[in-house]
Amino acid sequence: MTMEEATAGDRLDVVLFPWLAFGHMIPYLELAKRLAARGHTVTFLSTPRNITRLPPVPAHLSPRVRLVALPPSTVEGLPEGAESTADVPPEKNELIKKAVDGLAAPFAAFLADAVSGGRRPDWIVVDFCHNWAPAIGGEHGVPCATFQIVPASFIAFFGSRSANAAHPRTSPEDFTVLPEWCAPSFPPGITYRRHEAEWWFATSKPNASGVSDMERMWEMMESTRFAIYRSDDEVEPAGAGVFSLLSDLFQKPAIPAGILLQPELDSHHEDDDSARPEVLQWLDKQPSKSVIYVALGSEAPLTAKNLQELAWGLELAGGLIARTMAERRVGVEVARDDGDGSFGRDDVAAAVRRVMVEEEGKVFASNAERMKRVLGDQRRQDQYMEELEGYLIRYKDTNTPIVPNGISTRFNFDQQFTSGFIGEQRRGEEGCGGGGRRGGRRRRGKKDRKFDKSKVRCYNCRGYGHFASECQKPKK
């Protein structure tokens, strides 16, 4: 539905409220722009400093995107003017969560004012941390959805409250193996290392805000009408059926919105070279295949020693590494110490040579080019947005049931874990993720297949070939 096609009855008024990190705010802003381009009105909420630091909204969309600053609260230990995770060291991120909780009252006042002024939003879309927002929306009859900017497989690994209660993870080691609800469909190599598992385990513990990240996420998933993901089938583990899995885990629709890549340049300024970001202008001047992208994470802390090893490794390799989607062989991950995540210069150099010098590099280049074409297929990305738009329009009435036909009894955590479903439904079928817009088809149910447990690892005894619920050894 384009702006010209949107009828008055189909036009939405949506409030977007991201977590106070630019890695979240930017995708939320991209979602705002895409909804605005389809004729809908969007209110983007954050704090004053964050609003001023956002990229400008294209002029042709700005009438439909309203940026509203909520007054931040004072939090002991948080530096003055710190309004995002970019303003504090990693160890103080939990204070930003406490600051987010201080936005509950201003948010409630904003919503009450909007409703009393005859501007009741159709939807409130919030991030993982706003566990108090759905209740406030409910007081005014405004439904909530959650928009997760992390990979959908990340949330699947997290799992629902009931899944974790049935199969408790009580130590960091429990996060270094696939959880039982992911094991039937996820590739066995997609797990976390010890240093990453430490972070995962920490999310289950209360932080300075008094609430754990895991509890926040569970409350959000339980109190919102459906979950939107900044993802699509092409970037999730092949064959894992992540969106069906998420619908089953949380018993509500899991809707991909596409990857929401920022356009290189707004179409209204195509002839203005000065508007092109400086880094892209620099890249345009480099010879083909002469630059390697080193991805460390948007806010990943890097020690001075690791920075030195990275520089030496690049020097040894004779050039500048992409750490992404290793399962699809479009990049290579530098070998890291399993305990603390550190890496050495030789590891960096070996990874660079593997991509840029050795014969295997041709495979990576070919796969990356193919992935570029797939992710750059704007028609396909538009289809994801069209499906999301359809959900927002159809289910804005809080009295309309929203349980899709695709949700199954796959996970009955009151009994022993089972690996079968009543039938797996593709997005695009009536009642599931798009209501038939893309002509979905039904696949044969997994209950008709024999599941090979040989690669399943029990996180009770660490043995293979059975789930923890089937383990005969004493429970740890």
Q: What CATH number is associated with residue 29?
A: 3.40.50.2000
pLDDT for residue 452: 46
| Per-residue pLDDT at 131 exceeds 80 | yes
Whether 385 and 421 share a structural domain: yes
Whether 20 and 54 share a structural domain: yes
Percent of the chain with pLDDT over 70: 69
More confident residue, 273 or 400: 400
Overall number of domains in the chain: 2
Whether 236 and 98 share a structural domain: yes
Q: Is the four-CA dihedral 5, 268, 372, 44 of positive or negative sign? A: negative
| Per-residue pLDDT at 242 exceeds 60 | yes
Sheet containing strand 65-69, strands side by side: 65-69, 41-46, 13-17, 123-126, 144-148, 227-229, 254-256
| Rounded CA separation 229/147 (Å) | 6
By residue range, what is the domain housing residue 364?
Answer: 292-375
Helix and strand tally (H, E) in the chain?
Answer: 15, 9
The Cβ of residue 45 has, within 10 Å, a number of other Cβ atoms equal to 25
| Per-residue pLDDT at 353 exceeds 70 | yes
Picking from 46-55, 350-359, 380-389, which range would have the lowest pLDDT averaged per residue?
350-359
Mean pLDDT, rounded, for 274-302: 71
| Rounded CA separation 382/1 (Å) | 10
Whether 251 and 343 share a structural domain: no
| Per-residue pLDDT at 473 exceeds 80 | no
- 271 within domain boundaries: no
Report residue 252 as tokens. 């509500």
CA angle (20 as vertex; 116, 226 as ends), nearest 5: 65
pLDDT for residue 306: 62
Among 315, 342, 375, the domain-final residue is 375
Q: pTM value?
A: 0.74
More confident residue, 338 or 467: 338
pLDDT for residue 9: 62
Whether 118 and 191 share a structural domain: yes
pLDDT for residue 194: 80
Contact 181, 249 (CB under 8 A): yes
Q: Is the four-CA dihedral 55, 132, 93, 249 of positive or negative sign? A: negative
| Rounded CA separation 101/219 (Å) | 14
| Rounded CA separation 81/79 (Å) | 6
Longest distance between any two alpha carbons in the chain, whole Å: 69
24 is catalytic: yes
Whether 42 and 72 share a structural domain: yes
| Rounded CA separation 412/116 (Å) | 43
- 147 within domain boundaries: yes
Whether 345 and 385 share a structural domain: no
pLDDT for residue 348: 74
Report residue 346 as tokens. 């030789």
Task: Classify residue 406 as exposed, middle or buried by CB count within 10 Å of its CB (0-12, 13-18, 19+).
Answer: buried
Most confident option among 179-188, 282-291, 322-331: 179-188
Picking from 195-209, 249-263, 318-332, which range would have the lowest pLDDT averaged per residue?
318-332
Among 324, 359, 375, the domain-final residue is 375
Contact 124, 108 (CB under 8 A): no
pLDDT for residue 459: 46
- 115 within domain boundaries: yes
Whether 136 and 249 share a structural domain: yes
Mean pLDDT, rounded, for 286-303: 68
Report residue 285 as tokens. 């001047």
Q: pLDDT confidence of 284, banded at 50, 70, 90? A: confident
Measure CA of the first residue to CA of the last residue in the chain; give whole Å: 54
Please report which helix (H) or strand (E) contains residue 366, including its range: helix 360-375
Task: Check 13, 101, 122, 127 and give the catalytic one.
Answer: 127
Among 345, 375, 405, the domain-final residue is 375
233 is catalytic: no
- 272 within domain boundaries: no
Contact 176, 192 (CB under 8 A): yes
- 463 within domain boundaries: no
Residue partners of 449: CB distance under 8 A and separation at least 6: none
pLDDT for residue 378: 83
Whether 215 and 362 share a structural domain: no
Q: pLDDT tens digits, residue range 415-461?
A: 333 333 223 333 333 333 333 333 333 333 333 333 344 544 454 56
CA angle (366 as vertex; 361, 371 as ends), nearest 5: 120
List the beta bridge partners of residue 147.
228
Task: Check 24, 40, 130, 167 and give the catalytic one.
Answer: 24
Q: pLDDT tens digits, residue range 47-71?
A: 999 999 999 999 999 999 999 999 9
Whether 325 and 176 share a structural domain: no
| Rounded CA separation 136/144 (Å) | 10
| Per-residue pLDDT at 265 exceeds 60 | no
- 466 within domain boundaries: no
Cα-to-chain-centroid distance, residue 71: 27
- 234 within domain boundaries: yes
Q: What does residue 144 show for φ and ψ, rounded to 5 degrees?
A: -120, 145
Gyration radius (Cα) of the chain, Å: 23
| Per-residue pLDDT at 379 exceeds 50 | yes
Residue with tokens 């009543």: 422
Whether 193 and 99 share a structural domain: yes
Residue with tokens 């992911």: 182
pLDDT for residue 167: 92
Tell me the one-letter amino acid at 217: M
pLDDT for residue 279: 78
Strand runs labelled E in 199-266: 227-229, 254-256
pLDDT for residue 35: 97
List the beta bridge partners of residue 65.
42
Mean pLDDT score of the chain, rounded to an integer?
77
Whether 186 and 94 share a structural domain: yes
pLDDT for residue 261: 84
Nearest alpha carbon to residue 175 among 159, 198, 155, 153? 198
Q: pLDDT confidence of 28, banded at 50, 70, 90? A: very high
